[in-house]
Amino acid sequence: MSRKFVVVLVCLAMVALVGTGVAQQEEPPKQPPPVAGVQPVVLGITVDEVVVVAKGWSAKKQILGKAVYNDKKQKIGKVDDLIIAPDSAISYGIIGAGGFLGVDQHDVAIPAKQFKIKKGKIILPGATEEAIKALPKFEYAK
């Protein structure tokens, strides 16, 4: 065999091997066939959802433990907890008023829709510390 012919055969063999490797890589993973009426389970979130989530409020960094003010810029308490309803909506903020280091603190549940955010501060319009203390005390279910 001529040297030229051998080089061509080797090149063709390499192309054939690389071509099958590429074809194997491009093949999508096999998934079970869809079942009527059943949604596939997706774990985690997409890259696009990460961007949206990152722009949202962080309960730990921006809400919990933060002071709550009334519309007269008076501190009336702080956010101690958020209550998540069974439908996954935040329903209530638990506000602690009065007390010192948690002693004699009066916790109350305030509907989330009553809170406002102004210039990064949590505002509860029309509230006073006395009004908060007059509300029924919130206690967790046992």
pLDDT-derived band at 9, boundaries 50, 70, 90: very low
Is residue 67 assigned to a domain? yes
The string of pLDDT tens digits covering residues 45-88 is: 788 888 887 877 677 777 888 999 999 999 988 898 888 877 77
20 or 58, which is more confident: 58
pLDDT-derived band at 17, boundaries 50, 70, 90: very low
Provide the domain limits for residue 67. Answer: 59-134
Is residue 81 assigned to a domain? yes
Return the SS3 of 97: strand
pLDDT for 54 equals 82
Q: How far are the Cα atoms of 14, 55, 95, 134 from residue 131, in angstroms, in the given order?
A: 81, 34, 12, 5
* Strand duo 75-84 + 90-97: pairing: antiparallel
Is residue 20 assigned to a domain? no
Is residue 77 assigned to a domain? yes
41 or 121, which is more confident: 121
pLDDT-derived band at 21, boundaries 50, 70, 90: very low
Report how many domains make up the chain. Answer: 1
In CATH, what number is assigned to the domain containing residue 74?
A: 2.30.30.240
The string of pLDDT tens digits covering residues 77-116 is: 889 888 887 777 778 889 887 766 656 778 899 998 999 9
Q: 18 pLDDT exceeds 70?
A: no
pLDDT-derived band at 123, boundaries 50, 70, 90: very high
Integer Cα distance of 121 and 123 in angstroms: 6
Is residue 78 assigned to a domain? yes
Is residue 120 assigned to a domain? yes
Is residue 4 assigned to a domain? no
